[in-house]
Amino acid sequence: MWSKFRLNRPVWAGTVAGIFLGLFLKMIEQVTSLKVYTLLLNVDYVPVLKELKLSELIEFALHLVISVLLSIALAIFLKQKNGSRGRSLSWVSLVCFSVGLLLYPTTGLSDRTPELSDLPALLFWLAGHLLYGIALGWLLTDSRGSSA
């Protein structure tokens, strides 16, 4: 099983889906002024990173690293379960939506991000993570219905 597992698909899938999420949230932030893209890149609560002055490019690269790691973990899980394409897509979408839901409270740890009670920001944030999950699930599965 592990000898047939390749990292190519999860790495490019995590990169492409991560770029998609970033562009989506950046567009939302530019149109609405809701700091959802800022939240995506926020590292104010990470002990070592919060001390550094990171550029947007470096923060975005960190976001992509997390996206690729999540993609690899999901691909390994999908490979072990070997479920149908539809079930895999739904499962990946649910996991990514849940990750967005679990990460949103970190907005309370920074003064640069939306308020925890900002419902429109939360909805755009969750919509972005759901779309990210759909994109990632679609990229991780091939047309035959098998995964990564």
Q: What is the tens place of the pLDDT at every residue in 50-97?
A: 778 889 999 999 999 999 999 999 999 998 877 667 788 999 999 999
Is the per-residue pLDDT at 145 higher than 70? Answer: no
Residue-level pLDDT at 2: 47
Residue-level pLDDT at 82: 75
Classify residue 111 by burial, with Cβ atoms within 10 Å: 0-12, 13-18, 19+. exposed
Q: What is the DSSP string of the chain?
A: -GGG--SHHHHHHHHHHHHHHHHHHHHHHHHH--THHHHHH--TTSTTGGGS---HHHHHHHHHHHHHHHHHHHHHHHHHH---HHHHHHHHHHHHHHHHHHHGGGGGG-SSS--TT-HHHHHHHHHHHHHHHHHHHHHHB-TTS-B-
For residues 83 and 90, the answer to whether their CB atoms sit within 8 Å is no
Average pLDDT over residues 127-147: 82
Share the mean pLDDT of the chain. 89
Sign of CA dihedral 80, 1, 96, 142: negative
Nearest to 104 by CA among 134, 124, 131, 90: 124
Average pLDDT over residues 122-148: 84
Nearest to 74 by CA among 127, 22, 125, 138: 138
Average pLDDT over residues 83-112: 90
Global pTM reads 0.88
Residue-level pLDDT at 3: 47
Measured CA to CA, the distance from residue 46 to residue 27 in angstroms comes to 25
